[in-house]
Structure 1
């Protein structure tokens, strides 16, 4: 929602608006608050510091969020149990985008694993992946040719990363890349918790004609350690109905197709 301009002089009134906006939108921006409240950036940053000291928000570069924006690495077996129903629905919708005789890349993560489980090949299909669990899932289909990228195996994700996997992609061209991420931030872009995985994802993006992100709504407003890319480099995001209206509209304003599963 868009707020009308306030002219506020008291600390309590400013804090009330900041917390209200956080509740509605999930994040606030220093420059927008300065404009709406007619105060300096120094004043707003002090306000955000006071609210953070009370554990009411988390400060970020250029603003603040309602929840902790930083995500930590977890083992794939633990992540698979989180938001399982949403991931299944996201994977089913993503599988419908695969065309007969397609050639696609599938990244690593539990949401793209749900995609692999929902694929019903129409004609032949070639899949390139660095994720062992994705490769194992797809290998049961005689119509699917699976090319597994080699490299250093990450124990937490059971997927390969590193220069060998990146170099192998130089020899291919694919129609689509399906990736999962650990964080989607309007300013910082797409992120993962592992910097080598972020590098491999960027290489995968260069190999594919378009990038489709599969992410449940808990990933929005979060940041991982390794930055993959800016949001304007992706074509589509498939997520669930937990995404906020503000986030959905912001993404669509960037030209990104947002598909929300039931």
Structure 2
């Protein structure tokens, strides 16, 4: 993937849908070049072409999702890592920002629990942390572990802080996920953890996905980016939820 194609994904991450001619103008290339880029990115499963425009694909593949707004996600992950202290037991759920968070946390002396195989694979010999992969039913696309066995594993541990990803948030419906099985596990994590952090870029706000995770007031802290609209900032502040903007 070249730099121009990464820029296309970044623009789609912010605007959700962009016309071919607008992309050509913003990136100062021909519409033919943009169409070639869109064909490549569609073949990689990263976007969909619709009536002279492009929209981001709703993929669960973490490797692909990492490439969208990478620098922004890295900035969020670094801010989240500041909230973790040596000696804590933390749980990191699925999500592209959480992959980058896990890499940051490798520098700390903590016990990290995760329900995601891809995240567990980020660690290498020599890392300071102790990593525990919780069991469950394996989802190949997202590499997440879900189901009754995962809940049973969560029951056996005391979690200081949990970091969960989301697919959507709306004031009337709360945090939501496209996947009902992962939503169930995220909701259970919220119930069982002392402090819950939602970690997400601001593009997820204003969306409502199929399965509810929890309400805004059920979490301790939201870590997102500076583009979060004032409406949502005020909502979380009213509920007493800490807001960290990277």
Q: TM (normalized to structure 1)?
A: 0.69
Distance 1:98 1:133, change over 3 A: same
Counterpart residue number, 2:8: none
Deviation at 1:155, TM superposition (A): 2.0
Counterpart residue number, 1:111: 97
List, as ranges, runs of 4+ consecutive aligned residues in structure 1 with deviation greater than 4 Å. Answer: none
Structure 2 gap segments, 5+ residues each: 1-56
Distance 1:141 1:231, change over 3 A: farther
Q: TM (normalized to structure 2)?
A: 0.73
Matched, 1:137 2:110: no
Matched, 1:175 2:184: no
Deviation at 1:94, TM superposition (A): 0.5
Structure 1 gap segments, 5+ residues each: 1-70
- Rounded to whole Å, the distance in 2 between the matches of 1:134 and 1:140 is 15
Matched, 1:78 2:64: yes
Counterpart residue number, 2:223: 238
Where in structure 2 are the equivalents of 1:47-196 lying within 5 Å? 72-122=58-108, 124-196=109-181
Q: Deviations over 1:55-80 (max 9, x none)?
A: xxxxxxxxxxxxxxxx9454223322
- Rounded to whole Å, the distance in 1 between the matches of 2:140 and 2:82 is 30
Counterpart residue number, 1:67: none
- Rounded to whole Å, the distance in 2 between the matches of 1:117 and 1:77 is 14
- Rounded to whole Å, the distance in 2 between the matches of 1:92 and 1:236 is 15
Matched, 1:255 2:240: yes
Q: CA RMSD in A?
A: 1.6
- Rounded to whole Å, the distance in 2 between the matches of 1:109 and 1:154 is 14
Deviation at 1:148, TM superposition (A): 0.7
Q: Secondary structure at the match of 2:190?
A: helix
Q: Does the aligned pair in 2 maintain the 1:248–1:258 contact within 8 Å?
A: yes
Q: How many residues align?
A: 190
